[in-house]
Structure formats: structure tokens, C-alpha cells
């Protein structure tokens, strides 16, 4: 194939020859893989016009509007690059370097690409071996097809079918968290990864095969070995999220955007690892009596100082603390807007502002919770929970967390046995995927002498109750622990998993702020009952408590607040202790 020549059409730009792509594009001729296909007869040697910028610091982003790509935009800007958004297929063909962060589900993404004529443009762009980076679904769409609500046809550039992780193999699906990679090819964009972990969040994956072997640049082990990244010529794609993988992820983006950035000292080749246990810093946020948004922290959910003034405990500024915890090595940061159950969160603009600012400098996942429900404002304007969640996502959240509204939805579902599809949980997970929806449970321990005396699942507790009771059930609450509901944490967890939750944040009001350790009985009960990841929360007071919860339960992550805010235990100390005790963590 001849080199394509791209001619600028804008007044400010110059004619640019992309002849450097020509040799590698020879090797991409066979693309749009069809089994037993004849040699491909694709359009070539066309002259494209390009809005060539003299400025190399511009990247074209294919955001088809299906979800939150704010994190990626922030990461690109943080690295000093400007973004041009694709509006038409021609914009793809004009791009100098193209990033495609696939968001949402496979079928709707292919529909958008086909309907807007972008599928053809993307294939052409890639076949010409021009600089391309697909992320997450942006990798999967390059394959022949996916089983996600399918089979659904993909772009067909790489042989293989994208399938769902098999939870019958004892793994939790979605695959959420940090894994190290098995590097298969010496490629520059992975140069700084070595043994570091990168962040994944997905339920579907492409598998290695003889037909796609030459594409694979790294694999990852989760149940099976799946494809973590591909590379051929200038075409790259990664299943993980570089924009959420801390410094090492930023280096992947930097090396793609600026291939001339040079070789660093090459790290040892990575080895696939187990999924690392996550350490999460949580910021309970609310407005204090002066009207400032502050990070607070309760004792068993009571966040007021026990002084004459009775003021809200103030432990710092949300954006500053989030940035600090990112630097300290937190694997995720969660914001819980703890009074949003009574104040409408979209009226709470400072909270959205907090998210916007925090996401500019925090390159690990951000979760936000509080007040996600349908709402009618003072003027009678109705807001759906989906609108509330969308605003959170647009402002920089990667996941949203639902508390009270998930309790009502689960009660309803258990009563009727019918999934209406109308609850906030169902709607948000349908649109954004279940990996984006966390359910936060706020249970309180209720001791009983006889487990048969209650209709809820009980556990035999390690420490008997005040009257020697050997059993307890965990009563769910709403409105920040203010109201107990007729449903247990076990029943709730199983119901919300069926309704589409991707993860459970498991608090315990009895242990909150006590520093005496997590409620192992509760966390074991729930993490054994569901096959989605469970985040253990409430009660951490020392590094040993983290080791205990990971040794004795199937929790995927452990979250703490007070010990980090009061600077009693640094996040790094927690990780070093876990690592010394043989528990895999991201360092």
C-alpha cells in the first residue's frame, strides 16, 4: 500500500505527510478479520484532508456520549494535551492521534458507531496504522463479536469473541480492582509498568487464541488468562483504565501521546498476579452549621462534637484530603454526601464542585454517594435518580453509591418478586453498567437468643450480646442510620445483587468510628452470600484490622475513614503490613 497523503483544509494548518505510517500499514493489511477470508480489498491510497495542527499536543477523543469520560479528559489535560472531540466520521480520519474510551455496553456502542458512520471510519483509520489507543470497551469493540447481550458483531479487526467472566470458577464478577500484567511484548507504552498493578473494571473480556496471538502485548490472570492489552504497529488498546491507574497509568497515556518521550530504565517484566486487595479512603461530607462543606466523621454515625456548641466535627476540606489520599496510595477514594437524603444533591452544587476539582488530580477511582433517588423540587420539577447519577458521573465520579433508595427497592422486590426495572438501582446499572453502581448498606446489630425467633438470616456471633445472646441479625437502616427497616443485611445484599448492584459497601453502625476492628461476623456473612465484590467498612483502628478482615472474610476491599483523617495510621503503613503478611496489594 502506498503512503496516504493528508492535506490540510484549515487556514491555520499546514500540509502534512503521514508517510511514516506507510511501512507499518503494510502489516495491517489483513485487518477486518474474517475466517477463511480472501485477501482484503479495502480502500487505500486515498487522500485525506486533515486539520493538521502544528501543535503535537493535541489528541482526538472519540466520545460517543454513552458515559463518563471526564476522568480520561482530566488525565489527558493533566499531561498537557488539548482535546479535539470527534463530531463526524471525517474527524476520525483527520485525527493525528486518536483515543477511543469505550463506555457502556457493547451493543449500544456498536449501534452508535454504525449509525453515525464511525465504524467504517475507525476501521479505515486503524487499517492505516495510525496512532490509536482503545480503552476498556474500546479494546473489546475491535474484536469480531461479543456475547454481551448478544452475540453482537464488533468491528472485526481482531480474531476472537469477547465473553463474560465465568463466576462459577469462584471469581467475583465484575472484575473490579488492581492486577499486575503478564507482559508478552516489549512495547514502549508498557515500559513503566513492570510489576505494578493497573486498574480494571469490567465483566467481559477477550481471550488469547492462536489467531490473535500476534496482537497480544499483555495478559492478566483473573479466573483465566485474558487479554489485557494489544498492539500492532501504532495501534494499541488496553482493557485496564490508564486514567484510573495512578502514576503508572498516566505513564501509559504519556508514552502513547508522546512516543518520543524516550526509554526509561526498563523495569523487570511483569508477572500476572492475583487481584490485589484494595484499601479505600472514605470522606463523609456534609455542610456544617456555617454552611461550609467539610469532611466529618461520626461515632456510630453521630457526627456532632459533644460540646456546648454541638458543632459538626470538621476534619478537613474534601478536595485537599482526596488529593492527599491519592498521593498516599489510596486505591480508591469515596465521598459520601451524608445529609443528601434530606437535601436534594443537585441543589448541593458545592458537592458537585468538589467532585469536579477532586477528579482533576486524583487518578484512581472516585465513588460518590448520597441522595440518589427520584426527587421533586420546590417548583414541582421532577428529577429522576438517573439524572442525579448522571450529574455525579459528569462531575467526575466513576461509581455512584446508593444507600436508602436501594433498601426501599430491595424491600419492594422481596415483597413482589418482580423486578420492575424502575428502581434507581436498576435504571442506573442498566444505563451505566453494574460495575458503576455500589450499594451502601448501613446495618445495626440486633442480638437474639434464638435464631428461629426472627425471619432474617442470623449469625452466631464471636462476642455474645449484653444478655449473653449468641446470635445476631443485622437490621438495615435508611436516612443515615436514623430509621431501622424490616430487612436484614443478608436479604438486602442478595436482593440488590439481583437488581444490578456491582459492588457492596458494607458499613456497620455499631463499629463505626470505634477503632476496634471490622465486624468480621457481618462481613463474612455478606461476602460469602454474594458473588459481587464486598467492601468492608467501619471500625478500622490499626493495620492488623486490615489483615484480619482479608484473612477471615472474602472482602475484596477495606475502607477506613477516622484513622486516616486523624493521621493515626498512614495508608502506606496499612499496605506494607498487608504485603508483609502475604496479602497482595498495590504498592
Binding residues for substrate: 371, 507
Q: At what angle are helices 424-432 and 385-394 packed, to 10 degrees? A: 40
* Contacts of ligand 1PR in 55-84 (CB under 6 A): none
Is 175 an active-site residue? Answer: no
Question: Please, which residue, 34 or 516, has the CB nearer to ligand 1PR?
Answer: 516
Among 97, 128, 219, 440, binds ligand 1PR (CB under 6 A): 440
Binding residues for L-glutamine, as ranges, are 136
CB of 562 to ligand 1PR, least distance (A): 3
> x/- binding map, residues 461-490, to ligand 1PR, per CB under 6 A?
-------------------xx---------
The residue whose grid cell reads 418478586 is 417
Among 298, 365, 433, 502, binds ligand 1PR (CB under 6 A): 298
**Element at 205 (helix H, strand E):** strand 204-206
* Contacts of ligand 1PR in 210-229 (CB under 6 A): none
Which among 136, 220, 508, 511 is annotated as catalytic?
A: 136
d(CA 81, CA 92): 18
The H-assigned helical ranges of 227-301 are 246-257
Task: Please state, as a whole number, how many other Cβ atoms lie within 10 Å of the Cβ of residue 525.
Answer: 22
What cell numbers appear for 342 in the block?
A: 434530606
CB of 349 to ligand 1PR, least distance (A): 17
Q: Which stretch binds ligand 1PR (CB under 6 A): 165-173, 357-365, 369-377, 579-587?
A: 369-377
Q: Which long-range contacts (CB under 8 A, 24 or more apart) does 21-25 make?
A: 21/128, 21/129, 21/130, 21/234, 24/129, 24/233, 24/234, 25/1, 25/127, 25/128, 25/129, 25/233
Is 243 an active-site residue? Answer: yes
Q: Which stretch binds ligand 1PR (CB under 6 A): 2-10, 159-167, 321-329, 554-562?
A: 554-562
Residues in the chain: 587
d(CA 241, CA 250): 10
Task: Please state, as a whole number, how many other Cβ atoms lie within 10 Å of the Cβ of residue 477.
Answer: 23
Which among 148, 243, 331, 519 is annotated as catalytic?
A: 243
CB of 494 to ligand 1PR, least distance (A): 19
Which among 241, 545, 565, 577 is annotated as catalytic?
A: 241
Is 236 an active-site residue? Answer: no
Residues 131, 136, 137, 143: is their CA dihedral positive or negative?
positive
Is 284 an active-site residue? Answer: yes
Among 216, 340, 526, 558, binds ligand 1PR (CB under 6 A): 340
Question: Please, which residue, 460 or 516, has the CB nearer to ligand 1PR?
Answer: 516
Residues 276, 362, 96, 110: is their CA dihedral positive or negative?
positive
Question: Please, which residue, 231 or 553, has the CB nearer to ligand 1PR?
Answer: 553
Strands 175-180 and 197-202: antiparallel
Among 144, 398, 512, 548, binds ligand 1PR (CB under 6 A): 512
d(CA 175, CA 188): 26
Is 241 an active-site residue? Answer: yes
Question: Please, which residue, 129 or 497, has the CB nearer to ligand 1PR?
Answer: 497
Among 99, 176, 336, 523, binds ligand 1PR (CB under 6 A): 336
Judged by CB under 6 A, how many residues of this single chain contact ligand 1PR? 33
Walk across the sheet containing 158-164 and list its strands. 152-153, 143-146, 158-164, 204-206
CA 27, chain centre distance (Å): 34
What cell numbers appear for 151 in the block?
A: 452475540
Phi, psi of 180 (to 5 degrees): -85, 165
* Contacts of ligand 1PR in 530-549 (CB under 6 A): 537-540
Q: Does 554 bind ligand 1PR (CB under 6 A)?
A: no
What cell numbers appear for 454 in the block?
A: 426472627
Q: How far apart are the first and last CA of the chain?
A: 46
Q: Does 303 bind ligand 1PR (CB under 6 A)?
A: yes
Q: Does 282 bind ligand 1PR (CB under 6 A)?
A: yes
Residues engaged in binding ligand 1PR (CB under 6 A)? 282, 284, 297-298, 301, 303, 336, 338, 340-341, 369-372, 401-405, 440, 442, 480-481, 507, 512-513, 537-540, 560-562
Q: Which residues are part of the catalytic machinery?
A: 136, 241, 243, 284, 442
Amino acid at each position: 500500500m502506498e503512503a496516504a497523503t493528508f492535506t490540510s483544509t484549515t487556514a491555520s494548518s499546514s500540509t502534512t505527510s503521514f508517510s511514516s505510517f506507510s511501512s507499518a500499514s503494510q502489516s495491517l493489511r489483513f485487518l477486518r478479520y474474517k475466517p477463511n477470508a480472501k485477501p482484503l480489498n479495502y480502500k487505500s491510497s486515498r487522500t485525506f484532508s486533515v486539520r493538521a495542527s502544528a501543535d503535537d499536543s493535541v489528541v482526538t477523543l472519540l466520545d460517543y456520549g454513552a458515559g463518563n469520560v471526564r476522568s480520561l479528559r482530566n488525565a489527558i489535560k493533566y499531561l498537557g494535551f488539548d482535546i479535539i472531540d470527534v463530531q463526524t466520521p471525517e474527524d476520525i480520519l483527520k485525527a493525528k492521534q486518536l483515543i477511543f474510551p469505550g463506555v457502556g455496553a457493547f451493543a449500544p456502542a456498536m449501534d452508535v458507531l454504525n449509525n453515525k458512520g464511525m465504524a467504517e471510519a475507525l476501521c479505515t483509520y486503524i487499517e492505516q496504522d495510525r496512532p490509536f489507543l482503545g480503552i476498556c470497551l474500546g479494546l473489546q469493540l475491535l474484536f469480531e463479536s461479543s456475547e454481551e447481550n448478544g452475540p453482537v458483531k464488533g468491528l472485526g479487526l481482531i480474531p476472537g469473541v469477547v465473553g463474560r467472566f465465568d463466576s462459577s470458577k469462584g471469581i467475583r464478577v465484575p472484575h473490579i480492582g488492581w492486577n499486575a500484567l503478564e507482559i508478552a511484548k516489549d512495547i514502549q507504552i508498557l515500559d513503566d509498568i513492570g510489576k505494578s498493578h493497573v486498574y480494571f473494571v469490567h465483566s467481559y473480556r477477550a481471550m488469547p487464541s492462536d489467531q490473535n496471538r500476534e496482537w497480544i502485548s499483555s495478559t492478566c490472570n483473573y479466573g483465566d488468562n485474558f487479554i489485557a492489552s494489544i498492539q500492532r504497529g501504532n495501534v494499541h488498546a488496553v482493557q485496564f483504565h490508564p486514567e484510573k491507574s495512578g502514576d503508572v497509568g498516566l505513564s501509559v497515556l504519556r508514552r502513547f501521546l508522546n512516543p518520543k518521550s524516550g526509554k526509561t530504565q526498563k523495569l523487570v517484566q511483569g508477572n500476572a498476579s492475583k487481584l490485589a486487595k484494595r484499601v479505600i479512603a472514605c470522606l463523609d461530607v456534609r455542610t456544617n452549621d456555617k454552611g461550609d462543606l467539610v469532611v466529618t466523621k461520626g461515632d456510630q454515625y453521630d457526627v456532632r462534637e459533644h460540646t456546648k456548641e454541638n458543632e459538626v466535627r470538621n476534619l478537613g476540606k474534601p478536595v485537599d484530603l482526596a488529593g492527599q489520599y491519592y498521593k498516599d496510595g489510596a486505591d480508591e477514594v469515596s465521598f459520601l454526601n451524608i445529609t443528601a437524603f434530606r437535601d436534594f444533591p443537585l441543589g448541593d452544587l458545592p458537592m458537585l464542585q468538589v467532585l469536579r476539582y477532586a477528579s482533576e488530580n486524583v487518578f484512581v477511582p472516585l465513588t460518590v454517594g448520597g441522595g440518589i433517588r427520584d426527587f421533586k423540587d420546590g417548583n414541582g420539577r421532577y428529577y429522576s435518580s438517573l439524572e442525579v447519577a448522571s450529574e455525579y458521573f459528569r462531575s467526575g465520579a466513576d461509581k455512584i453509591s446508593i444507600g436508602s433508595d436501594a433498601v426501599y427497592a430491595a424491600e419492594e422486590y422481596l415483597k413482589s418478586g418482580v423486578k420492575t426495572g424502575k428502581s434507581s438501582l436498576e435504571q442506573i446499572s442498566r444505563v451505566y453498567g453494574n460495575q458503576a453502581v455500589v450499594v451502601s448498606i448501613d446495618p445495626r446489630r440486633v442480638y437474639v437468643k434464638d435464631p428461629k425467633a426472627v425471619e432474617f438470616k442470623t449469625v452466631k456471633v464471636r462476642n455474645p450480646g449484653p444478655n449473653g445472646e449468641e446470635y445476631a441479625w443485622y437490621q438495615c437502616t435508611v436516612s443515615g442510620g436514623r430509621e431501622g427497616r424490616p430487612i436484614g443485611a443478608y436479604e438486602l445484599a442478595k436482593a440488590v445483587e439481583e437488581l444490578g448492584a456491582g459492588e457492596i459497601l458494607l458499613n456497620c453502625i455499631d463499629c463505626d468510628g470505634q477503632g476496634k476492628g471490622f465486624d468480621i461476623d457481618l462481613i463474612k456473612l455478606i461476602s460469602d452470600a454474594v458473588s459481587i465484590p464486598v467492601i468492608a467498612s467501619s471500625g478500622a483502628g490499626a493495620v492488623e484490622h486490615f489483615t484480619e478482615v482479608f484473612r477471615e472474610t472474602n472482602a475484596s476491599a477495606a475502607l477506613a475513614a477516622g484513622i486516616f483523617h486523624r493521621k493515626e495510621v498512614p495508608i502506606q503503613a496499612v499496605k506494607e503490613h498487608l504485603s508483609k503478611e502475604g496479602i497482595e496489594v498495590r504498592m
